[in-house]
Amino acid sequence: WKEDATLTGADTILAQEPALRSTPGPGPNLEGPLLAVVDSRRRVSAWRALRDAGHWSRVIALRGDDSTPTPPGASQMIVGQDRVDLPSALHRLHVDHGVEVVRVDSGGQLAAAMLDQHLIDEVSLVIHPGLVRASAKRWFGGHSGDVGLEPIGHETLDEGLLWIRY
């Protein structure tokens, strides 16, 4: 995807924390994108494991205020009050870190917030060959309106994955 930054929400990281902690990583990937985690409620704790996972060059906790210290293994960017101000966060990532291309790797809440605030230029869906049980949440669970998507391309990737771009 050639992103400069991967933006994700705390819930996405929290779902991976047990695996992150139990698998030693090779350390930061100096050629990789930075990882920015929206963590307004300070629930993420595996900052060192994220840094050392081998995917990202550095890890940044996006926070709404500075009432707690910078998490170990990450830097901290204060953008907003109670919640992270997403437009401000993207602006600061651009100005402070030269970020041009952001890949949002997240679930429905962050994706819906990004769509609601018109912060997404392109939607890429990677369809994995697998089944999910019926009780799983919808991806766009809280989105308040329809999103018109115009197809711009598709590609079959390794292991049967399908990449669709809108």
- Per-residue pLDDT tens for 112-165? 899 999 999 988 887 776 655 555 544 444 444 555 667 788 888 888 888 888
Tens-digit pLDDT profile for residues 51-109: 999 999 999 999 988 777 888 889 999 999 889 999 999 999 999 999 999 999 988 88
User: Which residue pairs, CB below 8 angstroms and at least 24 apart, start in 93-101?
Assistant: 93/5, 93/34, 93/36, 93/60, 97/4, 97/5, 97/34, 97/60, 98/4, 99/4, 99/5, 99/34, 100/4, 101/1, 101/2, 101/3, 101/4, 101/5
pLDDT in tens, 34-47: 999 999 989 999 99
pTM for the complete prediction? 0.81
Q: What is the pLDDT of residue 102?
A: 96
Structure-token pair, residue 4 = 């400069």
pLDDT the model gives residue 131: 55
Between 24 and 36, the higher pLDDT residue: 36
